[in-house]
Amino acid sequence: MKKTLCFGLMAIAIGFGLTSCNNTAKQESESLTISGLDANNFATDSTALYVLTNANGMEVCFTNFGGRIVSIMVPDKDGNMKDVCLGHDNIQDYEKYGAEGCNFGALIGRYGNRIAKGQFSLDGESYQLPINNGPNSLHGGGPIAFHNRIWTANKIDEQNLEFTTTSPDGEDGYPGNIEVKVTYTLTNENALQITYEGTTDKATVLNLTNHCYFNLSGDASTDCLDEILWLDADSITAVDADVAVTGEVLAVEGTPFDFRTPTAVGDRIDDTSSEQIENGKGYDHNWILNTKGDITKPFGTLYDPNTGIVMDMYTDQPGVQFYAGNFLDGSFVGKKGVLYPRRSAFCFESQHYPDSPNHPEWPSTTLRPGEKYLTTTIYKFSTK
């Protein structure tokens, strides 16, 4: 009798233990995304992880710290899911590296790219912005720029996510109280669409973009210079040794900047016979797009010959900053503990031209009361 009772109690205990373990494993698996992210690692009083999925099983993850894209899971040519976006797998690393100016996947504003010496004039008034990149102001300039703030999140449904924020008059030196909304949409055509909206109560400048780092190999432990790039652009805006635009527009014909024929990014990236390559330490320039605001036409295509993943890019903006990860140096700890080496990912930041407020001959970035800032950029994934 005692032996039977003992075995019975042991069976109950073991059963309870197995059930407890199973429940724990189930809870852990339910908190994990397809990319392996744990939502618990993003959960604080003010931050969280947000997940969009589509009918094809594609998944994109975000956090409201900086309105960032955290991961993008797309199928390769064999149907295996690959994460093609650099980032971190916990909120603490985003906060740590964000303070060091790391913009993985972040929304950028008020002004994407550089404003020379952090100065511009508008309607007869002069404005001074924080200096944070050599002698220039980069990506808003200040410590409370858009990539370092907590955005208000509203997940509309499984394929649409809104981030909103306000920026008061004078913040980081910019005029006007502005309201900004950014909507991420994951379509059933495997496209990630980003729509930016903004209004102001005082004349200001606004140039919003996203700083996602793409590596279509899905392996960010090494460079991706063998990826093939096509850009529909006949010219670039020249930069000086501080990577600020000079005002000169240069034809790409006969230079390392000519991607009108698909070319491996690494083929000419170190051709320092080009002063522009020397100044940018590789590619870190604004291409003037031939699409002229027609979002129905792709302005560029990136292709990885190993995974077969293709990313077609569309925008209604006049330019794109192609940055080839020249300043990644292996010091950033990424997802799954990977150290991101130099040129392990590329950015394609749709935009008006850098320093446009100081170049009235270029498309204007001025936004006035009663006007609405509205622009859309699309990254569409497929395989071949």
pLDDT one-digit tens code per residue, 328-375: 999 999 999 999 999 999 999 999 999 999 999 999 999 999 999 999
Model pLDDT, residue 88:
97
Task: Determine the average pLDDT of the residues in 123-137.
Answer: 96
Instruction: Give the model's confidence band at 100: pLDDT under 50 very low, under 70 low, under 90 confident, else very high.
Output: confident
Give the residue-averaged pLDDT of 206-211.
98
- Whether pLDDT at 101 is above 80: no
Task: Inform me whether the pLDDT recorded for 225 exceeds 80.
Answer: yes
Active site residue 211: yes
Determine the pLDDT at residue 30: 55
Q: Which residue has the tokens 């394929």?
A: 159
Q: Which two tokens stand for residue 5?
A: 């009772």
User: What is the distance of C-alpha 274 from the center of its chain?
Assistant: 28
Displacement of CA 270 from its chain's centroid (Å): 24
The one-letter code for the residue type at 242 is D
Percent of the chain at pLDDT above 90? Answer: 89
pLDDT of residue 143: 80
Look up the CATH number of domain 37-220+311-384. 2.70.98.10
What is the C-alpha separation between 124 and 139, in angstroms, rounded?
A: 24
285 among known catalytic residues = no
Q: Cα–Cα–Cα angle for 300, 251, 254, nearest 5°?
A: 90
What is the spatial distance between Cα 148 and Cα 87, in angstroms, rounded to a whole number? 14
The active-site residue out of 211, 227, 285, 352 is 211
pTM for this prediction: 0.92
Q: Which amino acid, residue 2? A: K
Q: Are 320 and 300 in contact (CB under 8 A)?
A: yes
- Choice among 59, 162, 227, 349 that is catalytic: 349
Average of pLDDT values for 222-248?
Answer: 98
Q: Grade residue 102 by pLDDT with cuts at 50, 70 and 90.
A: confident
Token code pair at residue 81: 């899911």
